[in-house]
Chain A
Amino acid sequence: MHIVVCIKQVPDSAQIRVHPVTNTIMRQGVPTIINPYDLFALEAALALRDQHGGEVTVLTMGPPSAADSLRKALTFGADRAVLLTDRFFAGADTLATTYALATAIRKIGETFGAPDLVFTGKQTIDGDTAQVGPGVAKRLGLLQLTYVAKISALDLDNKTIEAERRSEGGVQILQTRLPCLITMLEATNEIRRGGMADALRAARAEVVTWSAKDAGVEDITKCGLRGSPTIVKRVFAPQARAEKATMVDFSDTPPADALIAELFKRQPKLETELATLARGY
């Protein structure tokens, strides 16, 4: 079995700053991490490999420094890492990104064996679109399962997979055919700590690095800024929320009474309205 996991190197949001004047994110000097959502995808893939055998290839598109994130993925236990890096890829929106990733996955298939499964995180913490996973599936003609919480069964002989998909109001248990693409939900597993053998291998591994040409991109105009119809019109920092927490003193009155008194104090109309309503009954 061959699983491809798409990851993205993102700025560590815990350490990010917004420029006070231009409102743009100041990426300079901000440490980068693997998009946290992608780690759930990676762990799900590694667990399946451990159970059923096979290989896990991690793929990312980004600047040369994104190799650090790939190396980290290898430390966790991935078997192979592919970095897609080219100045033609810069400034890509989700449409251009999915084009590049889908092309690279096709090439990975030709080079290292066709993937049975492609995993992505639910979304990234910097773009937050949740469009790239489904977009890649569409371009590759893969069946797709989004917001998956658990892979409950995998049958390699019959080429089927069963997964629990969280949806509004409940959990769907779905079965589909392989190959398929799965976007993994957060907090569904915990990324492992790689053993010494994996860590050593990762520290010395050569990351497979592909340019647009290497990856088999035929139409360069579909890549990067040129291939991105999305136009960023304005970037702004959201207003801080006005609501503030209030401490309510429970020492003299029972909690419910104290809370209601506090509510009425802030919304004087509410008390009279409720009283009028009550009189109706």
Chain B
Amino acid sequence: MIEEKFDAIVVGAGMAGNAATLTLAQRGLKVLQLERGEYSGSKNVQGAILYADMLEKLVPDFREDAPLERHLVEQRFWMMDDNSHVGLHYRSEEFNEEKPNRYTIIRAQFDKWFSSKVKEAGATVLCETTVTELIQDAYGRVIGVRTDRAGGQIHADVVVLAEGVNGLLGTRAELRPRPKPENVALAVKEMHFLPRETIEARFNLKGDEGVVIEAAGTISRGMTGMGFIYANKECVSLGIGCLVSDFQKTGETPYGLLERFKSHPSVAPLIEGSEVKEYAAHLIPEGGFKAIPQLYGEGWVVVGDAAQLNNAIHREGSNLAMTSGRIAAEAIFQIKSRREPMTAKNLALYKAMLDESFVMKDMKKYKDMPALMHINSQNFFLTYPQLVSKAMQNFVRVDGTPKVEKEKRSLRAFVEARSWLGLFGDAFRIARAWR
């Protein structure tokens, strides 16, 4: 056992863990961060989009040396059926600003940089060290961690669990339940390498401009899920994910979905001739507000994916992770400054501060969305995309049919597929869940 005691131990070096450790170290606390990977980022998987605002709060001048890929100037939403897509594209020159708002990043590189900032701030960062168990005293208070290294018990006043979506520590210690299959998505992605000029030509970009494509429809075979395509400097990050419970129900395979997505006529030309260098899979918390577990207890707090903090509708996860990590650290710092113990009663401050932030406000706004998407997945991911695609084709194809007749035909298709009641019901439910 290590005699030395820390003010805080942070488990995990992803976005939430790094944000928490950095903030704790910046506030002068004696903090130890433990990460099972060889370095921060070696095990972390994300698309990935970085949101500048939340990082600025931690590292104000991050643009100077962080490994950023491209800043986003264009967002495309695609509703896909098997041969077509109906798209909504938004592109603005205003995104070519001095301090852009969103960037594509490669997590392995970005997290390494983030970790270097954590070390500079004075935290002790230990990689290749897996925390196997939380040490609890006779009253169930968390007082430290046990690791897989010899003599690896270390004590701390508080343990910050930033262990990721499927974190086993908290679930094993029964601080929170294991995420349910209907509350997590399994996403797979590939990195397709292409020359810079090719990417810029195919995606209509210049310099460091970037684009994001988010796609839904028949590509998920009726399951609740989405595909994505992100343009990086010299590679295209492409993936698709669906709810684990849907995979269980349908027997579909993640790699099967990915292959179909890649061979879709709208996607294939974008990655033609590329070299695949990386294949990764990851779970994403999708349960929303209602799946958020207890966030604090005696001697512990939970942040980021482990706390299921992910806004599935806006595809925001890493910024909620960074923000929850930062807020947890601020709360711990406040308690510490008052020389008070890290009890559940005191650590409730973290939850209170989180409730006041955009994190919980956004989570709450979409609290009914996961259930709606889940129950009606067939309609939202199969029926509607096909209907919309047919209607679009009907609209643009010139074949001598009178326009009035065309419109009637399109409308009839919708009513036949979903009935008036179903259509109004879906519209009403979406409106209510969005409100």
Contacts and interface: CB of A to CB of B under 8 A. Distances in A.
Interface of A: 75, 193-197, 199-200, 203-204
Contacts of B154: 196
A203 B151 contact: no
B150 interface: yes
B334 interface: no
B149 A203 contact: no
B2 A203 contact: no
A197 B124 CA distance: 13
B149 A199 contact: yes
Contacts of B151: 195-197
Nearest to A68: B39
B125 A203 contact: yes
A195 B149 CA distance: 5
Question: How many B residues touch the partner, as a band?
Answer: 10 to 19
B124 A196 contact: no
Closest 9 CB pairs of A and B: A195-B150, A196-B152, A196-B149, A195-B151, A196-B151, A203-B124, A203-B126, A199-B126, A195-B149
B147 A196 contact: yes
Given A195-B149, A195-B151, A200 B2 contact: yes
A205 to B, nearest CB: 11
Contact of B2 (A75, A193, A194, A196): A196
B198 interface: no
B394 interface: no
8 contacts: A75-B128, A193-B150, A196-B129, A196-B149, A196-B152, A199-B149, A200-B4, A200-B124
Contacts of A200: 2, 4, 32, 124, 126
Q: What is the predominant secondary structure among interface residues of chain A facing chain B?
A: helix
Nearest to A204: B124
Contacts of A195: 149-152
A17 B129 CA distance: 30
Contacts of A196: 2, 129, 147, 149-154
Contact of A194 (B32, B124, B149): B149
Contacts of B125: 203
Interface in B21-62: 32
Contacts of B147: 196
Contacts of A197: 2, 151
A199 B129 CA distance: 9
A200 B5 CA distance: 12
A193 B149 contact: yes
Contacts of A203: 124-126
A260 to B, nearest CB: 42
Contacts of B129: 196, 199
Nearest to B3: A197
Q: Identify the interface centre among A194, A195, A203: most chain B CB within 10 Å of its CB.
A: A203
Contacts of A199: 126, 129, 149
Contacts of A194: 149
B175 to A, nearest CB: 23
Contacts of B4: 200
Contacts of B150: 193, 195-196
Nearest to A192: B150
A153 to B, nearest CB: 28
Given A195-B151, A199-B149, 17 more contacts: A75-B128, A193-B149, A193-B150, A194-B149, A195-B149, A195-B152, A196-B2, A196-B129, A196-B147, A196-B151, A197-B2, A199-B126, A199-B129, A200-B2, A200-B4, A200-B126, A203-B126
A3 B383 CA distance: 72
A64 to B, nearest CB: 13
